[in-house]
Structure 1
Amino acid sequence: MSEKHIRRLPAGKLRAELPGTRFEVDLANCPPFRGDNLLGLVLKTRATRAHVPLMEELEIHVTGVKPRAKTSGTSRTRKFYIAVDSEGPTGVNEYWARNLKADSPRLTGFRQLLTDDVNAAVEGCFAAGATEVYVKDDGFRVRNIIRKRLDPRARLIPSGGPLLHGLDATFAGVLLVGFHAREGAPRSVLPHTWSSGRRRRYRFNGREAGELAAYAIVAGNDHGVPIVMVTGCDGLCREAREWLGDGVVAVSVKRVAADGSVVLDPPGITGPRITAGARQAIERSPELKPFRIRFPIHVTLQLKDDATTRGYVNWRDLNKPDWPGRRTGPRTIEAWLKSTRHLCL
């Protein structure tokens, strides 16, 4: 950019009674560009080191930028976020990520099944016009995705951080791949919420909820992003429609039969099914609205027994000084929440 398109003007006295500077940048003649629309400026000064201007005294005003026309959400249909769990992928009917040792051949087999489900979703996203797909491993021990096997077009978000870490309002939608139904859900494969051992059962404003609801609330309330697709068992698909409506694409890869037996569909069937579902979800995403809930909300958590509940509360009281939960019964914890910060208690 030529210096003739940048005007430097005095901006009066600002912090510490020092003279401020206003830079006016005219982008009317700037070549077209795409991307994150971030303006980078390198400010140079001939002043000595003792007189380098403070950044708080710099004001930048940009003109000549034409606002993009509203396109009914299509401006956000290019970038998608895939969160991955370990109990809901194709071929899974056990808590393998938690129970199998790192050198177990069976662990490798389950990791391959999970990664292939992710790749099928990634393929569908790009086939429908996505330009960026980010993948986050949220399964137990976050060691589940085989990085060398992951579709090279996908970008992997490192483990750690809060729920949906890395998500922001620039994404058009979230896909939940390999998820499971809530604790206590009928006719579901490996139903649980956050912990299979503590048997957590949540209620949000009196309504039974699981991990899917928590993801939807964080995505919608914190980032304004909808859940566009889920994959898992039939029970998860029912739960998704109950919480998110019929617009969400729900892809089943397994089910529980009437006699209680688990029926696992083979990868040769589920892979194309997931790809088709992801493609449909991306195409449908401009029509889907983020799931939002009005805060404050009342959260109730029920654990499996008195000892588990006592230990749960004691640990949080010691390690989370601002934890809002309070024990209201032998197995029950309750809290009123003003934000999603402690949604999982």
Structure 2
Amino acid sequence: MRVYISADMEGVTGLVDSQDVQLGGGEYEYGRAMMTEDVNAAVRGALAAGAEYVLVNDSHMTMRNLLPDRIHPEAVLQRGKPKRHGMVEGLDGSYDAMLCIGYHARAGRLGVLSHSYMGHEIEDMWLDGRPTGEFGFAHAVAAAHGVPVVAVSGDDAACAEAAEWEPRISRAVVKHAKDRFAARLVPPAEARKAIEEACAEGVRAAAGGARPADQAVGADGRAVELAVRWQNASVASQLTAVPGVSLRDDRTVVVHGTAPDLFALFGVFMRVASNLTNQHPYC
């Protein structure tokens, strides 16, 4: 069994504020330690369920958040950027299962630190007309490769959103959203136990033959439509210089392709937006 872990930060146990998850934030070093322990719980669960190889992709911001000397010794850590496929770098059909750890709800939902990639600049995203955020896009890429997404951890809003994309997914709720920067926390030991159990359950399901549903967005490498509504009309205007990108309205761009190709292209979109707005992704 080969297991792929995409590790984000906003949905990590105990973290509720931008100061917890951004480089230079007052609680960022604490956040890194908490993120590392959540990931280690996921690795333990995967190994307990029979995983023979576990790749952890650091998927947040600089992608240099996880503490390498404290990561489970049986996991392989992938960190740093740029990565052509960002949060799903290295994911392909050789993996038997994908786990999404520390994920958060999409822009427009009331969840802890909810956003879609760039907190101020991206208002909405859609895949084949379905509102999507980071989980939905990752799910589509996994479906294109035939890899089931079998477990997720995050706040209650993130876990509910994940279940809309993959009803069979095992969920570990580590906090309950009270507002965008407030939550009722699950005690860390209890949260890590839930993550470990959800990941073990998910990997066992994959070992039993779980696969992405045929109707999943992007399944089997089918072409899909990505639409992104930006806060800034300048971003949308400039992106039309990219071949295949068109405008739906002054602030919404549309492009078609396979989910993995669109994910790579979306990374270019974000670099253009960061340049134009002089704003780093999220917060």
Per the TM superposition, whether the score is higher than 0.5 is yes
Please say if 1:233 is aligned against 2:160: no
Aligned partner of 2:281 in structure 1 is none
Q: Count residues in correspondence.
A: 256
CA contact (8 A) 2:6 2:100 kept: yes
Report the Cα distance in structure 1 between the residues aligned to 2:159 and 2:95, rounded to whole angstroms. Answer: 23
Report the Cα distance in structure 1 between the residues aligned to 2:112 and 2:236, rounded to whole angstroms. Answer: 26
Please say if 1:121 is aligned against 2:48: no
Among 204, 225, 241, which residue is 1:298 paired with?
Answer: 225
CA contact (8 A) 1:92 1:110 kept: yes
The 3 A distance-change label for structure 1 pair 207 and 128 is same
- Opposite residue 336 of structure 1, the aligned amino acid is H
Report the Cα distance in structure 2 between the residues aligned to 1:288 and 1:149, rounded to whole angstroms. Answer: 31
Alignment identity in percent? Answer: 27
Report the Cα distance in structure 2 between the residues aligned to 1:260 and 1:112, rounded to whole angstroms. Answer: 20
Report the Cα distance in structure 2 between the residues aligned to 1:94 and 1:341, rounded to whole angstroms. Answer: 32
Aligned partner of 2:12 in structure 1 is 89
CA contact (8 A) 2:16 2:182 kept: no
The 3 A distance-change label for structure 1 pair 256 and 98 is closer
Report the Cα distance in structure 1 between the residues aligned to 2:102 and 2:180, rounded to whole angstroms. Answer: 24
- Opposite residue 106 of structure 1, the aligned amino acid is E
CA contact (8 A) 1:251 1:273 kept: yes
Report the Cα distance in structure 2 between the residues aligned to 1:191 and 1:123, rounded to whole angstroms. Answer: 27
Higher relative contact order (CA 8 A, sep 6+): 2
Gaps of 5+ in 1: 1-77
Question: 1:74-223, aligned counterparts within 5 Å?
Answer: 78-96=1-19, 99-101=22-24, 106-159=27-80, 160-163=83-86, 164-185=88-109, 187-221=110-144, 223=145
Structure showing the higher helix proportion among its residues? 2
CA contact (8 A) 1:97 1:140 kept: no
Which has the higher Rg, Structure 1 or Structure 2? 1
The 3 A distance-change label for structure 1 pair 240 and 191 is same
Deviations 1:243-295 (A, max 9, x none): 111x1111111112499952122212111111111111111113421254354
Please say if 1:224 is aligned against 2:146: yes
The 3 A distance-change label for structure 1 pair 271 and 242 is same
TM-score (norm 1): 0.69
Aligned partner of 1:22 in structure 2 is none
For 1:176, what is the secondary structure of its paired residue? strand
Report the Cα distance in structure 2 between the residues aligned to 1:260 and 1:121, rounded to whole angstroms. Answer: 25
CA contact (8 A) 2:12 2:103 kept: yes
CA contact (8 A) 1:97 1:144 kept: no
Aligned partner of 2:183 in structure 1 is 262
The 3 A distance-change label for structure 1 pair 127 and 338 is closer
Aligned partner of 2:280 in structure 1 is none
- Opposite residue 128 of structure 2, the aligned amino acid is N
Deviations 1:152-175 (A, max 9, x none): 110112432314222222211000
